[in-house]
Chains A and B, each alone.
Chain A
Amino acid sequence: MKARGVLLAVLGVALLLDASCKRQPGTEQSLFPASNEVAGWVKTGETRTFEAADLWRYIDGEAERYLKAGAQRVSTADYKFENKVDAVVDIYTMGNAPGAEKIFKSEPAVDVKPIQVGDEARLSSQSLVFRKGTFLVRIVAFEESTETQQALLQLGHGVELRLARR
């Protein structure tokens, strides 16, 4: 009986540890557009989620800035556009909207242009960053082409639609 109790306790701790590291809750999965939900974009990887305590495992060195602004977790997934452009979508869930705004405003608007996505957005040749409510979204493309900016914008709108359903 005692051994069974110990076993259950160990199992419980293991489950808790696992949950704190790379949880993939359905709610976080649903933030990301499915393959071809946005024309040309295919989701190429599983959604990975890092809770606040493990944010450093994903963004070591930047985690403190996000935690100070009230980050609760980040979920990330890889995408590919028309088999040419690889990209990653990071969705930070902050404690409140001012937290998302704080992160957004802390980044200088260099080589970017404001654009209408979510509450506020910036677009560069290879990235789109926007905030919407308690979310801060960063989409980064790894290749630059004539189509990249427009493709990023479309994927951004796809994410925005998903966030609006929350």
Chain B
Amino acid sequence: MSVMRSTSRRDFLKKCVTGAAVLGASGRVGLLAAAEEGAALAKSRVVIARDAMLRGTGTTVDSRRMLTLLDRAMQAFFDRDNPNETWKKLVRPGERVGLKVNVLGGRGLSSNLQLVEAICERLQEAGIKASDIVVWDRDSDEMEHVGFHVATGGNRVQCFGTDRVDYEQELVMHGSVGSRLSKILTQRCDVLINVPVLKDHDGAGVTIALKNMYGVIHNPNKYHPNGCNPYIADLNMLPEIRTKMRLTICDATTASYEGGPGYKPEYSWKNNGLMVSQDPVALDYTSWQIIERKRAEKGLKTLEGDKRAPHYIATAADAQHRLGTNDPRRIAVVEV
């Protein structure tokens, strides 16, 4: 927050984006040309917010600092000076909002409780009723195992897995995918906020925003061959997902660069960050590069060298899918 006080957030972000364009430009391109090129190409924004002191001196994430970090990320993304204004740009009172978390990694590498609480707090301040918010994943027991308290009914934030309501009977299909969707998605959500975790994945290479949708279908185990390609992209094309998805807030507080998607402390690091984007492909591409940098730092092969590069990201961006962009020239990474 302190970096924002001396100037308006709008001015600050303009400087960031312009700076990124200048940095990306070759020497022969002038400042103006670079700015114009940046404006023409920068279509998708990915905000990365970090707080080195997110855990204070301990190991648990501090709730107050998490809320501040979320505000910083959201205000940067929506270019607003007030946190409430950002959420009002995202949701409207009366809408039912689903937070699709990821608890598959178990304790240590699941969507952070403090982050989910912070999102719920801001949603309610934006006028969403507590009972219109549902925090969900595939299984209630798995959610409880990582610390979520299952709650159904009453005037409170709802929290449960698809096991409580089942999947739709009807198969929905796109390309290589034919699946039954969670009734939480189809019947309980008007808006979806994706809250994945920044993780390595043994089969897919990485699992972040796009792959988190495996948790909304009854048969994710069928879609792991060939590095989950083109299954992940096809799944995200389903209208029930595509039309409801409004934002991804990636939990990058603890991330893994190897051995995922389960939690293996030896291959994880405390990144103390959040990533926000409305383009899941751009977010996944950017996150993949973060994981590659960490792998290089640890002396590991690239994911390509390990024969598990996440090719599904390119598929999601191709002409048949157009779920977002994986072209770094068209991604504006804003670090705050």
Q: Which residues of A contact B (CB under 8 A)?
A: 56, 59-65, 86, 88, 107-108, 110-112, 122, 124-127, 138, 140-144
Q: Is the CB of A110 within 8 A of B266?
A: yes
B window 203-259: CB within 8 A of A: 203-204, 207, 214, 220-221, 224, 258-259
B66 at the interface (CB under 8 A from A): no
Q: Is the CB of A142 within 8 A of B300?
A: no
Besides the known contacts A61-B104, A111-B266, A124-B266, 13 further A-B residue pairs in the complex with CB atoms under 8 A apart: A61-B203, A64-B224, A86-B107, A110-B299, A110-B300, A124-B265, A127-B264, A140-B108, A140-B263, A140-B264, A140-B265, A142-B108, A144-B59
B residues near A110, Cβ cutoff 8 Å: 258, 266-267, 298-300
B window 99-118: CB within 8 A of A: 104, 106-108
Subset of 14 A-B contacts with CB under 8 Å: A60-B261, A61-B104, A61-B224, A61-B260, A62-B202, A63-B224, A64-B224, A110-B258, A110-B298, A111-B266, A112-B266, A138-B264, A140-B263, A144-B59
Q: Is the CB of B203 within 8 A of A141?
A: no
How far, in angstroms, from A88 to B262 measured CA to CA in the complex? 12
Q: Is the CB of B224 within 8 A of A142?
A: no
A residues near B298, Cβ cutoff 8 Å: 110-111
How far, in angstroms, from A58 to B300 measured CA to CA in the complex? 27
How far, in angstroms, from A105 to B49 measured CA to CA in the complex? 36
B50 at the interface (CB under 8 A from A): no
Q: Is the CB of B221 within 8 A of A127?
A: no
Closest to A110 in B: B298
How far, in angstroms, from A144 to B271 measured CA to CA in the complex? 16
B72 at the interface (CB under 8 A from A): no
Closest to A145 in B: B59
B96 at the interface (CB under 8 A from A): no
- Which of A60, A111, A144 is B214 in contact with, Cβ under 8 Å? A60
Q: Is the CB of A60 within 8 A of B104?
A: yes
Closest to A22 in B: B141
Question: How far apart are A74's CB and chain B's nearest CB, in angstroms?
Answer: 11
B residues near A62, Cβ cutoff 8 Å: 202-203, 260-262
B9 at the interface (CB under 8 A from A): no
B45 at the interface (CB under 8 A from A): no
B residues near A59, Cβ cutoff 8 Å: 262
How far, in angstroms, from A111 to B267 measured CA to CA in the complex? 8
How far, in angstroms, from A143 to B258 measured CA to CA in the complex? 20
Q: Is the CB of A64 within 8 A of B202?
A: yes
B residues near A144, Cβ cutoff 8 Å: 59, 265
Question: How far apart are B154's CB and chain A's nearest CB, in angstroms?
Answer: 28
Given contacts A111-B298, A127-B266, A144-B59, contact A61 B202 (CB under 8 A): yes
- Which of A56, A61, A108, A138 is B204 in contact with, Cβ under 8 Å? A61
- Which of A88, A112, A141 is B106 in contact with, Cβ under 8 Å? A88
Closest to A122 in B: B266
B window 176-210: CB within 8 A of A: 201-204, 207
Q: Is the CB of A63 within 8 A of B221?
A: yes
Question: How far apart are A6's CB and chain B's nearest CB, in angstroms?
Answer: 23
- Which of B260, B261, B300 is A108 in contact with, Cβ under 8 Å? B300
Closest to A126 in B: B265
Q: Is the CB of A142 within 8 A of B107?
A: yes
How far, in angstroms, from A148 to B109 measured CA to CA in the complex? 19
A residues near B221, Cβ cutoff 8 Å: 56, 60, 63
A residues near B204, Cβ cutoff 8 Å: 61
B residues near A122, Cβ cutoff 8 Å: 266
How far, in angstroms, from A110 to B260 measured CA to CA in the complex? 14
A residues near B202, Cβ cutoff 8 Å: 61-62, 64-65
Question: How far apart are A104's CB and chain B's nearest CB, in angstroms?
Answer: 12
Closest to B221 in A: A56
Question: How far apart are B182's CB and chain A's nearest CB, in angstroms?
Answer: 15
Q: Is the CB of B261 within 8 A of A61?
A: yes
A residues near B266, Cβ cutoff 8 Å: 110-112, 122, 124-127
Chain B 270-289: CB-based contact to A (< 8 A → 1; otherwise 0): 00000000000000000000
Given contacts A86-B107, A88-B106, contact A60 B265 (CB under 8 A): no
